[in-house]
Every structure is written in structure tokens, then in C-alpha cells.
Chain A
Amino acid sequence: MAEVRIAPQHRSVEILASKLRRRSIVGSRATALETLLVLRQVISKARFSNINQLVEIIRSVGRRLVEAQPKEHSVGNTVRKVLHHIREEYQTATRGTSTTTQTSFSISKFVLQGQPKRQATVPKTEIRGTLRENDSDDPDSFARGLKPVLMEAIQDVLDELETVYDNVAKNAKDHIHPDEIILTLGMSRTVETFLKTAAHGRNYTVIVAETAPSYSGREMAKSLSLAGISTFLVPDSSIYGLMSRVNKVILGAHVILANGGMFAITGSLVAATAARAHSTPVVVCAGQFKLTPLWNLYHEYGAHDFGNPSDVLGFEEADLVDKVDVVNPYYDYVHPDLIDAFITNDGDHPPSSIYRHVFNRLLKETYDDEDNEL
């Protein structure tokens, strides 16, 4: 495999990598979208004559992007998802032509996959015999055959990303009842859409914490009140005091980990802990692309993502600046025990089954195990 053509360092890949590194693109959905667009370009230009070459090309791009910004997990997720689709399309395309899929049943397989399926695999009637790997006469024929279906698959992923807010919000009315008091913080588009959808023909109150130091809560409060929702903007320090009157805490997420914990904007942990003290339910709204097959176990402070300290203490306080260390972490890690439910575009899950459904059902459908480490 010496002549595997590693993706010619695409300009688009490098541009995205530097944007990610310089944080000119932030947010899980924006990065996921950009990654997907870059991958589409890479695939359309790539030259490969078998599946392994293609997978290696995508992986090398994925590694490049993940290295550029390891804290934006949705980049890796998108790459994993595309790889999964590539394999799936490849399998449907080559089924019938290859005879390697002989059913062998062993104890380890039995443990892993359960009882053997009764139905015999019906060979697909559509036989695309045209797809031939490593064709020495025409090395590009494989790529020509596979590319159109891959483009379709990527379009599907793109559509999913584009409709994710509405799909998360589609059951909003089941979660927010009339005259409830909801507490939220930060400016999450998912939560914003969710709250606005629930507000159709229903009166309820939202308390928005300012969410220092970004003060993105102000933006959220403005947007909600413009939509006609009764909104209160409160300082972060009053979250605990107000919690006794709150019926439900609704949070957005940056990334959801396989154990059901999540990274969310700073302040989420305060809200979730205060909610626990009052037994107030904590609900998290997030698109499925935020689910990551990774575990974060050691949430040391230094492992967090840090923002610009001048948001906390600016240079106008010049005589203080050299006397104190100022840290401004972007995200809090919220432990799965503090979360009651995740509302995703693929149904509602308790944190414990993020693992069970998500890792085994959703993630297996979305990602392949071998791609967990890109």
C-alpha cells in the first residue's frame, strides 16, 4: 500500500484547520457544517481505486482537523459519520459481487451480537456489478461509481444538520406546560428554537441568567421577549435563590459524552447543582451530532477550554492585571447524575441510556467502532 495517495493537502482543509485553530469558527453545529462541506470537496476531488484508500484519505483529513482543534468534538463526529456512510454505501454497492460474507457463527460472535438472525440475507435485486476495485485498466472506475452515492449520503447528513433545531423542538410542547417557570442560560440556538416552539399558543415564563462573562444570556433574553415570551433576565449569582420557584431547567450542550455527561457553557454546572438541591428537573436540548463516542473521566480544571481572560478582567484594571491570575473557562463539565433527560432530534433519552441506546444503537448506526480513534 505504498502508493496510497494521501489527500493532496487541500487548500480547503488547511483553511478550515487554521480557522478552527484561531477560533474564528466556534460552536458545534457551525464546525460540523464546515467540516462536512470540506469533506464533500475532498471526496469530489479525491482519486482512489479502492475503499481503503478512500477511508484513509478521509481519516487523514479528519486527523488534521481534530488536531487543529481537539475541543470541538463535532468535527470528529462528522468525520466518523461520513466514514460510516462511506462504508455503508460501499457495502450496499458491492453486495452480491463479493462472496466474502459467509455466515460464520462463533461463541464470541454470539456474545457480541446475540442470537443468529433467522432471516437469510436476501440478496439485493439491484446488482451493481459495475463497481470494481483496483481495476488496472481504468483505476478511476471505482471512484466514478461510488462518488454519486456518497454525495447523496453527505447531502443527507447536511440536511439533518440543517433541520436539527426544528427536529429537536418538535416535541417541545410535551416538555413545557402552561404557566411553568423555566430557567435557562447562555445563547443556544437549539434551546431558543425549543422555547419559541413551545410558546405557540401557550403562556409560560423564562428566567434567563446573564451568563457572564460572555453575557450571551442577554441576547437570549432579547430574542425570547421579541417572540412574545414573558422573560426575566437575572444575574448569575441569583440562580440558586430563584431555583425554588423554577419548574424546569433547560440547558444547551456543547458536546455530550458517552457516559451521559456533557460539556456546556460555563454556569451550567451551577444551575444543574442548584436544580439538584431543589429536585428541579434538568433537561438538555441537543442535536444528535453532539453525541461523541468518547469518555471524559478526568475533568481537571486545566483540561477545559479557556477563553480570553480580558472578558473577565480587562486592561482598564491595569494595576490589578499583573497581581492576579485570571481564568475564563468556556465550558463546565456536567456530571450525568445531574441531568434528567436529553432531548435530541432522535428522541428523548435519560443520561444512562445515552450510553446504552446511543453507543450501541445510535452510535453504531452513526459511527463505526474502529473510527473512535481517528
Chain B
Amino acid sequence: MIDRPSMDTPRFDISAALQRILQDEQISPPLAAILALTELIENSDAGTMFELVKALNDGTQVLKTTTSNPISLNAGCELFTAFVTLFPHDSANFNDLKKELIRQGQQYAADALTYRRKIAQLALGFIKDGSVILTHSYSRVVMQTLLLAHQHKRISVFVTEARPRGLGIKTAEGLSAAGVPSTVILDSAVAYVMDKVDFVLVGSEAVVESGGLVNAVGSNQIAIIARAANKPFYALAESYKFHRLFPLSQYDLPSHNSKILSFPSLSRPEPSVSSSNATIKSANFSATETTHSGHARPDSDSPLRITQEQISQNNPDVDYTRPDLISLVFSDVGSLTPEGVSQYLVGMFAG
């Protein structure tokens, strides 16, 4: 009888549920994770708290494997699991408790959809008329904030292209459609544009315990350039993105793996190669055969080609921005200094 839950849980496909929930454009990964976990509770027949928490942890593990970048999913899972563990209950009937937990999860996800509006309202006070704003990639909360600001003030927006996914173009299209003057700039042109900018506004994947920010790759360099130019760097983050993680460097992020930044073992030792010395290349090729990885192209007749896919394959999706580079974090719980974030995390997870 005790074995039943672990037998039954796999029957419910949590990753399919997650994908289905994520279809909704408004739902961000942490919320989707919470909703997926409520469905897991619905489908689990755990009879005790211990079993339930185990089922949730197993579900979290499954969810993590579905994506290369589990950071924001993890934030949602941890929040919900901690909530379940701490939920005060005295009901004799465990099924009632489960129903209540499901209701709480769904209620929260519904409430959380209003958070972006709250954040936009909060950030509005910090945007003055005539501001020139630099933003990075695409973020729903940044979009909402900029669109709200556009209704009240004259703003113009520079948005980075944000390679490799190029989501900055989506931002620029959305803003232009709403009539906000916006220009896409190259990721490499951030320093060039910084002097024209009043402040930087970015969204977030997660805000970690140090107050640092995990966001689409490139945020860190924007923050560094903003600091060098003495421009404020604001992050927008819904409180469900607060994540109990304390990275000390870029490489401590869970999204980092050995493939990122790896050097492909090239078939040629000479740095200067052109198509003319293809013969030398093929001669060396046989010597280094054993060290080949899948990345290096063994076709010796054509020059070495580097494709966009190859580049994005061994490049990170997200990076970590140190808290001292961040001026303020706007969240639904208030506008916080980066240090303020840790206080909420400690409240939830410590003690």
C-alpha cells in the first residue's frame, strides 16, 4: 500500500503538464512549475505529508531535466515545496489538506498574474518624462512597465538584440506597435549607446540571495558598462523569482555545464588557415584523430566554418550580475535594494 504512490506518480507526466501550462503566454516558468506541482498533488495518492513532499521533490527533479536552464523553474518549485512543508494543518483528513494545497497553489498563480501590473506601477515613479531607457532581450514585466510608462510619459527605448535568441527584436516590435520609439542595438554596441541612456531596465530569470541577478546573457556586461558610466541599473522581478542560491561566480549557476565555453579540439594546430593549405590540414588530421569531438569538422576539403548554432551551443543562456552593480530591484513586495531580497529569502527558508 505504501508503495502505491511511487508506482502511480510516474503515470502522471509532469513535464507534459508543464509544457501545456507554459503555452499560456502570461505564465512564467516559476508559476508554471507551481501549477504543475499542484496537478501532481491532484494526481498523487500520497497518504502522508512525508510521501507528498517526496512526490513533490521527485516532480521537481523531473522538471529540472526537461530544460537546460532550470533556475527559474527551481525557484517556483522550492517556493511551493517550502510552503507545503510549512502549511499549518490540523485537519484529520489528508485529502482535505491536499485539496487546500491545490487551491492555495492555483490561487497564488492567479494572484501572481497581477504582480506585473503592480511592479509596473512601482517602477513608473522612477521613470521621468523624456527618459531614454536601455533594456535587454525580452521580458514580459519590462514590456508591461514600458507600455504603462508610455501612457503617462514620453519615453524612448534602446533594446539590445540579445543574441543568440534575438529576443530583443520581439521587444522592439511590441514597443513599436504600441507607438513607443524604440531601436534595436547590437549587443556589442552597448558601450556606444550608454552615454545617451538615462537608466537600464531589465527583467530577470531569478534574483538570488546575494541580491544578484540571473538574466539573459549580456545583462552582466550591460550592468558593468552602466556602472562605468554611472547610470542606474534597475531590475524588475516578481517575488516568485526570488531564488535561494548564492553563486559566487558565473560558473556556479546551475545552468553552467562543461559544454559551455569548452574549446573544440581543432583539427589544425596552425592558427592561420586558408583554403589554400588544405593539404596540410588533412595531413594533421590523421595525427589528431583520437582527440576529435563532435564539434570539430573533419571535412578537410572545405575551410573551417563556424555556424550560429555552434556558437550558441557552447555559450551560456543566462549570466549572473553582481548585486553591487544593481541599483534597485522592483518587485511586487516593494522596491528593494539588492540586499533587501535576501531578507525575504531568509524569512521563507531559514529559521
Contact = CB atoms under 8 A, between A and B. Distances in A.
B86 A259 contact: no
A280 interface: no
> Chain B: interface residue count, which band?
35 or more
B344 A114 contact: yes
Interface residues of A, number: 23
Q: Which of B34, B86, B242 neighbours the largest number of chain A CB atoms within 10 Å of its CB?
A: B86
Interface stretch (A25-33, A186-194, A352-360): A352-360
A68 to B, nearest CB: 23
B351 to A, nearest CB: 6
Interface stretch (B13-21, B100-108, B151-159, B255-263): B100-108
Contact of B88 (A107, A116, A295): A116
A115 interface: yes
Given A107-B80, A356-B340, A113 B347 contact: yes
B88 A356 contact: no
A108 B80 CA distance: 11
Contact of B107 (A106, A114, A355): A106
A112 interface: yes
Nearest to A369: B334
Given A112-B333, A114-B347, A116-B88, A107 B108 contact: yes
Given A111-B79, A115-B347, A298-B128, A360 B88 contact: no
A302 B337 CA distance: 27
A110 interface: yes
Interface in A77-129: 103, 105-108, 110-116
Contacts of B105: 107
A123 B108 CA distance: 30
Given A103-B88, A108-B111, A259-B337, 16 more contacts: A105-B88, A106-B104, A108-B239, A110-B79, A110-B348, A111-B79, A111-B242, A114-B348, A115-B347, A116-B88, A297-B128, A297-B232, A355-B340, A356-B339, A359-B334, A369-B334
Interface of B: 34, 79-80, 82-83, 86-88, 104-105, 107-108, 111-112, 125-126, 128, 232, 239-240, 242, 328, 333-337, 339-340, 343-344, 346-348, 351
Interface of A: 103, 105-108, 110-116, 259, 295, 297-298, 352-353, 355-356, 359-360, 369
